[in-house]
Structure formats: structure tokens, C-alpha cells
Amino acid sequence: MKLQTQRFIDRWVGQLLCAGVSGWVRLTSGNKPAPMIAKDAKNILVILLSEMGSIVLAGPMFAQLRRQYPQAKIHILQLKKNQEVSKLLQLTEPENMHSLDDSSGGALIGDIAKVSLAMRKLRLDAVIDCELFSRVSALLSFTTGAPVRVGYTPHTQEGLYRGSFINHAIPYNPYQHISKQFLSLVDALDSAGSKPRNKAAAIRDLPTDTELSVRFTDAELAAYKSKVHTDHPVTAGRKLVLLYAGGGILPERAWPAAHYARVAQGLCAAGFAVGLIGLKDDAQLAKDLMAQIKSDACIDLTGYTRSIRELLMLFHASSLLITNDGGPGHFATLTPIQTMVFFGPETGKLYGPLGSRNTILESGIACSPCLSAYNHRLTFCDGDNQCLKRIAPDPVLSSALRYLQADAAPAVGASA
């Protein structure tokens, strides 16, 4: 199903359904206080339908859930296309991972019905809705039958109505990193009352660790490095820099291709190898960049990795990733690689990768960021994304060279 179609249905049909459910809850519940979760809760559902990078940013939340409710089984509901990351990170047992197929309207409605029935049979203690202002996720939190429903509320913000049946609501805070807000959802599980506030929550710093990991053996990583050198001999004895120039489903997040080409030319001239990564859909972009770069030290790696696990092994085999805002920048935090991430339509202050091996690149133009929970992530930009175009390539190249030349680690595959 197209993204615009999903937004239309969520906005108009979703609001009507949310209003109906809210009226039903008021009629049947009266003035009863909001239910509280027990410390020995058995089943907790987390609804996380966002892009795959959000799963990494939610790592501290899952770790806190396990610490706070050690006896509970953590269930996760995601879009089917995003499940690969959760399985790789082993966020919960495979039998506790549930999915929705959004490839068509019929498939989505059918899966919603199946999941709702399955969750009711589990007798969930609580559900955490991690989506900001999606009506479908709010409705799902109700249809699962969980007595404790945690999620965000717009409070007095207009135009974001999604009912009043989330009984442990906290206000969305556009000034706090999303990882901290995910942790606030865990705090709200055992908060008293249903008012939109979370004053009793713990005071937390921004997490510096995702508390997630993917284990590789030394032999596995060595074998993968050898494969990269065999497939692309130019990488042997050189540090490998990866560039992700694609914009994914939001092309306005992409730094200009010509800027990437300029940086790649400088890196190749300085003796480094450059790999252009992305999905198979990014092959034409890589071809166009190769034509501009004109260097044997630049290789096309779009479609080269067959899974997220292989992508992480490629990160292990590389020294630096320069990327647009998106999944690769977050996945990189699970490996030792250094990253440089461009932000413009969205901001690193809210969605930046966790950890200390990241450099956030933003222009600070007055209209940036323009995508938010309050505008349904619909930019008012006309395609001329000056917030990214104004980040000049030469300073980025200089920063990359400073890091690569100061890095004492040996080149990929080079003997120590």
C-alpha cells in the first residue's frame, strides 16, 4: 500500500474510529481509575511500526523493560518488512514476534484482525504504543485487550486527535531525543492515573549505549573481509570508506549526489577505497556516481550485502561510513565503524544515532527540521532541500580525511 494512501486512511478513517472507541470506553468505564500493571506482569506488547532504524534507538527501552519486569514475556508487533532487524538483535523469542503485512489494504486488515485475536488470547498485562500519533497503532493498543495502555498524547495540540482511550498517556516532547522518550513509556507503565504527564519519571541522560549487539566470531569476520578483497581487489591494503547516498522513502533526506561524488573523488585521491552501498534500487544512483567519480578505487556495493547481518559485517570491515539519515547510520552503532550522518528534514537532536562514534552534520537553516510528528512527516519543501545542499562537500571531505589519517587502526585486511 502506498505511503500516501496509508496516511489518508489513518487520518480520516482513523480519527472516526478513535472517536467511536473513546466514546465506548467512557460509557463502559465511567470514572474508574486507570488499571495498574503488576510487578510480576506476564505479557507486555510493544507496538513499533516505524522504520528499521527506530528499532536500534529503542534498544535502551527494551533493556529497561527486561530489568523492570524480569518475569514478563516481551511481545513485539512490527510491520513484516521490518522484522529482520528484531530477529537479528534477538529482542525477544521468535514466537513472541508478531507482524502486519502492509503490502495491501486487504492484507493489513486481515493481519490486524488476526493479531488482535491472538493478543486477546494471551491476556496481555500491558501494551506500549511507540508510534507518535498514528491512529492505527492506538486502535491496535485497544483491540489487543490489554488493560494498561501506554502511548503518547498530543494533549492540547490541534489536528492530531487519536482518542482518549490510552489510559497511561504521556505528552510527546519535541525537544527530547526519541530514545529518552521511549524510556518514558516504560516509566508510564506503573504511573498512577491517566493524566497526560510523567512528572514522577526518572531523570535520565541520553543513553550512550544501545544495549544491543550482534555477535560475530573472529573467523566469520576474517572470512568476510577476505571475500570483500577477493570480489574487489582494490580494497586490499586500503581503508574502506562506505557512502550511502540514497534517500529511501524520503528522498528529501538525501545530500546531493554531486557532493558525494566530490567527497569520493577526494578520498580516492588520498589513497582510500570507496564503496557505494545501498539496495538494488540504488544501483542507478551508484552508476551515475561512478561516472562522476571516475576512479578505480571506487566500487559499486549496492545490493552486495544480502541481509542486515552481512551489512554489519561490511561495517566491521570498513573504517568510515558517510550516510544520509536512515537505517545504515543506526545499524552502524552496533559495530566499531565511525559514522558521519547528514540531517536536514529531520534532526539529529531527536533522531541521531546513539554512542560516541558519530558525527552529526546539519546546516542549521531556519526551516530545518521540517518533518515532525505534528505534520505527519509531510515536508513543505518543494524538493529543493537547501538544508542539505548548503552543507558543502569540502569541509566534509576534510573531516573524513582527518579521522582516517589520525585513525591508528590498520587498513582493512592489512597485516598488523
In tens digits, the chain (416 residues) has pLDDT values of: 777 788 788 888 999 999 999 999 999 987 888 899 999 999 999 999 988 999 999 999 999 999 999 999 999 999 999 999 999 999 999 999 999 999 888 999 999 999 999 999 999 999 999 999 899 999 999 999 999 999 998 877 766 888 999 999 988 888 999 999 999 999 999 887 656 666 777 888 999 999 999 999 999 999 999 999 999 999 999 999 999 999 888 889 999 999 999 999 999 999 999 999 999 899 999 999 999 999 999 999 999 999 999 999 999 999 999 999 999 999 999 999 999 999 999 999 999 999 999 999 999 999 999 988 888 777 888 889 999 999 999 999 999 999 999 975 444 444 32
SS3 231: helix
Distance in angstroms (rounded) separating the CA atoms of residues 138 and 155: 15
pLDDT score at 292: 97
Distance in angstroms (rounded) separating the CA atoms of residues 120 and 118: 5
pTM: 0.92
Which residue ranges form the domains of the chain, and what is each CATH number? 3-189 (3.40.50.2000), 218-405 (3.40.50.2000)
Torsion from C-alpha of 126, 129, 134, 136, nearest 10 degrees: -40
383 φψ region: left (φ > 0), alpha (ψ -120 to 50), beta (else) = left
Q: Report the mean per-residue pLDDT for the chain.
A: 92
Distance in angstroms (rounded) separating the CA atoms of residues 33 and 204: 28
Sheet of strand 148-153, all strands in order from the earlier edge strand to the far edge = 97-100, 73-79, 43-47, 126-129, 148-153, 168-171
pLDDT score at 414: 41
Q: What would the grid cell of residue 371 be?
A: 518533518
- For 163-187, what is each residue's pLDDT tens digit? 999 999 988 888 999 999 999 999 9
pLDDT score at 154: 80
With cell 523493560, the residue in question is 65
